[in-house]
Amino acid sequence: MFKKSWLFILFLLVFLPLSANADITLKFNGFIADEANLLSEEVENDLNMTLWDLQKKSGADLVVVTLPSLNGRTVEEVALDIGRSYKLGAVGKNNGMVYLTALNERRMRIEQGLGLESKIPVSTLENIMNTDILPYYKQSNYEKGIRRGTYLLAQTVAQAEGVKIKKQGVCPPALSPSASNSHNNDSIPWWAWPIVILGALCSPRRRRFSSGSFGGFGGGGGFGGSGCSGSW
């Protein structure tokens, strides 16, 4: 009896911590789980509409996840966990992608499913990360970095899958080396304000993303650890 009790305690010590880290629970709004509160409602809508179009036309699931902390885990582990637990990508195609940002650790990861590994070189993902995302992160402009990164990743996946997608919203420009050290890129000249206001009044109402029209992820979940990680 004493021996059985020790075996049971050993089981709890070894296997329960593993099962606790086996998956991660996120609150998705469409394709976005902004747990770190880095995105506005308007930006979430624009990105969701773009990613929804990608899913409809290719079956690919590209999810954008922000976390306040990794809670002691590596960014690679968490990204893999998300891709597998939420079964991203279409069944049989495994064309899912995770774009993960961890604020406290200042780490990010782009993880691609098995079905995209032969279609999208890791060097392409690294270029998007280093050229288009991290320059914004380094000036703490996370929303613009996420917007630009998501649009470019969605376009990259669409090209790999042989489809054309509609992009809703404006993709922020790439930052030049000098601009990456400046925080004044958003300033608008005084003479441009009447044009901006007039354009806002005359522009057609945007289509809003409805979570009711989103049918969930595809059911794939095949991820082998292909992607890139970065820090800022």
Domains of the chain in sequence order: 27-183+224-231 (3.10.310.50)
DSSP 65: E
Distance CA 82, CA 97 (A): 10
Contact 134, 92 (CB under 8 A): no
Contact 192, 172 (CB under 8 A): no
Distance CA 60, CA 223 (A): 13
Whether residue 70 has pLDDT greater than 60: yes
Return the closest-CA partner of residue 132 out of 179, 199, 91. 179
Which residue pairs from 41-44 have beta carbons closer than 8 angstroms and sit at least 24 positions apart in sequence? 42/169, 43/143, 43/146, 43/147, 43/169, 44/209
Contact 52, 211 (CB under 8 A): no
Confidence label for 24 from pLDDT (cuts 50, 70 and 90): confident
Determine the pLDDT at residue 178.
52
Q: If you count them, how many residues does the chain have?
A: 232
Whether residue 5 has pLDDT greater than 70: no
Determine the pLDDT at residue 91.
96
Determine the pLDDT at residue 2.
45
The model's pTM is 0.79
> What are the pLDDT digits (tens) for 170-224?
999 999 655 544 444 444 444 544 554 444 444 444 556 555 556 689 999 999 9
Determine the pLDDT at residue 194.
54
Amino acid, single-letter form, for residue 121: P
Degrees to nearest 5, angle at CA 15 with 14 and 19: 135
Query: Average model confidence (pLDDT) for the chain?
Result: 83
Token pair belonging to 200: 């806002």
| DSSP-derived pairing of the beta strands 61-67 and 96-102 | parallel
> What are the pLDDT digits (tens) for 105-159?
999 999 999 999 999 999 999 999 999 999 999 999 999 999 999 999 999 999 9
Tell me which of 10-14, 22-26, 49-53 is least confident.
10-14
